[in-house]
């Protein structure tokens, strides 16, 4: 998997952040957005599609103020 960014308290908040950036949810539960590469001296610009999934992670209670485990939700570029 690719880069991950942002910790969200709920899956809905993570989903809303993607939709605000222009991503759409597909039939597989992933979010996609069509784009175009910038190109460089050796390669012409080309079409690209970004695929992102929302993944939950459990955070150990040792790192929480109240001592209880909790989940955060992150975006992963595929």
The pLDDT tens digits for 43-75 are 999 999 989 999 999 999 999 989 999 999 999
CA dist 77 and 30 (Å) reads 10
Structure tokens at 19: 């939709």
Q: Tell me the C-alpha to C-alpha distance, in Å, between residue 6 and each of 1, 31, 34, 57.
A: 15, 16, 21, 12
Total-model pTM? 0.78
Whether residue 1 is predicted with pLDDT greater than 70 in this model: the reply is no
Q: Which residue is associated with the tokens 């960014």?
A: 5
Structure tokens at 66: 């109240």
* pLDDT tens digit sequence for 36-45: 888 899 999 9
Whether residue 35 is predicted with pLDDT greater than 80 in this model: the reply is yes
- The predicted structure's pLDDT at residue 3: 62
């Amino acid at each position: 998997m690719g880069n991950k960014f942002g910790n969200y308290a709920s899956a809905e908040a993570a989903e809303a952040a993607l939709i605000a950036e222009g991503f759409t949810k597909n039939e597989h539960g992933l979010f996609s957005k069509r784009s175009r590469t910038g190109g460089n001296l050796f390669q012409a610009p080309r079409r690209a599609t970004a695929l992102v999934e929302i993944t939950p992670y459990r955070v150990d209670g040792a790192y929480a103020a109240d001592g209880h485990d909790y989940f955060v939700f992150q975006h992963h570029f595929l």
